[in-house]
Chain A
Amino acid sequence: AQSVTQLGSHVSVSEGALVLLRCNYSSSVPPYLFWYVQYPNQGLQLLLKYTTGATLVKGINGFEAEFKKSETSFHLTKPSAHMSDAAEYFCAVSDHPGTASKLTFGTGTRLQVTL
């Protein structure tokens, strides 16, 4: 079984400050890891994914995440927060990237960006 734990249901940062959203995973096989963003009353948009290869993954909107196997972590970062980054962020894991593989989501972290 796979799972992800997102530490902190709410994170608040000032505009221009570093964004750090934490995600730890549990998996018995090499994991495939994802970060999604959800704006109010909308579906999810993929920010970035880790499958194989380089452990530092760059995504859209200036976000990046680093896969650290030793720490079973996949934290999401952005050097400088923008007001438009305020949203709900979900970390997710699957055991393979095939067409029918399921994603297991974390409980989400709501990012608030203040002036």
Chain B
Amino acid sequence: GAVVSQHPSRVICKSGTSVKIECRSLDFQATTMFWYRQFPKQSLMLMATSNEGSKATYEQGVEKDKFLINHASLTLSTLTVTSAHPEDSSFYICSARDPPGRIGYSPLHFGNGTRLTVT
């Protein structure tokens, strides 16, 4: 079945540095990927929609200059947290949607998430 791989699973960085998180669709092409943020014991909040070959669409209240999204190919989207601060510590999850008509179509396939801790 379709798999979305997210890397790294955990990262600890110092305040002021930048961190890049990768999201790959392993056996299908994803023109659209989604980035979510999840605070402890809370739901997933959509941060942005990543579109292959074009600019990402950010949700209201999400700083596009802080959370840089690049979707350079049909199988890879990256989220870079720039100048990270402790309040950016969170669980980040990416997802990608099967193209229509694919066997086993389901709405979204999720990566296993990245636990970011900023010290």
Binding site for B on A (CB under 8 A): 32, 34, 36, 41-46, 49, 90, 94, 97-103, 105-108, 110
Contact = CB atoms under 8 A, between A and B. Distances in A.
Interface residues of B, number: 27
Interface stretch (B13-21, B61-69, B104-112): B104-112
Contacts, number: 60
Given A42-B113, A44-B110, A99-B97, 17 more contacts: A41-B9, A41-B91, A41-B113, A43-B4, A43-B93, A44-B93, A46-B106, A49-B106, A94-B107, A99-B31, A99-B32, A100-B97, A101-B107, A103-B107, A103-B108, A107-B43, A110-B41
**Which 3 pairs of residues, A with B, have the shortest CB-CB distance?**
A43-B110, A44-B110, A43-B112
Given A44-B93, A90-B44, A107-B42, A97 B115 contact: no
A102 B34 contact: yes
Chain A binding surface, main DSSP class: loop
A1 to B, nearest CB: 12
Nearest to A32: B107
Contacts of A41: 9, 91, 112-113, 115
B56 interface: no
A102 B113 contact: no
Q: Which of B34, B99, B108, B113 has the most C-beta atoms of chain A within 10 angstroms of its own C-beta?
A: B108
Given A45-B110, A46-B107, A100 B49 contact: yes
A62 B39 CA distance: 29
Contacts of A46: 106-108
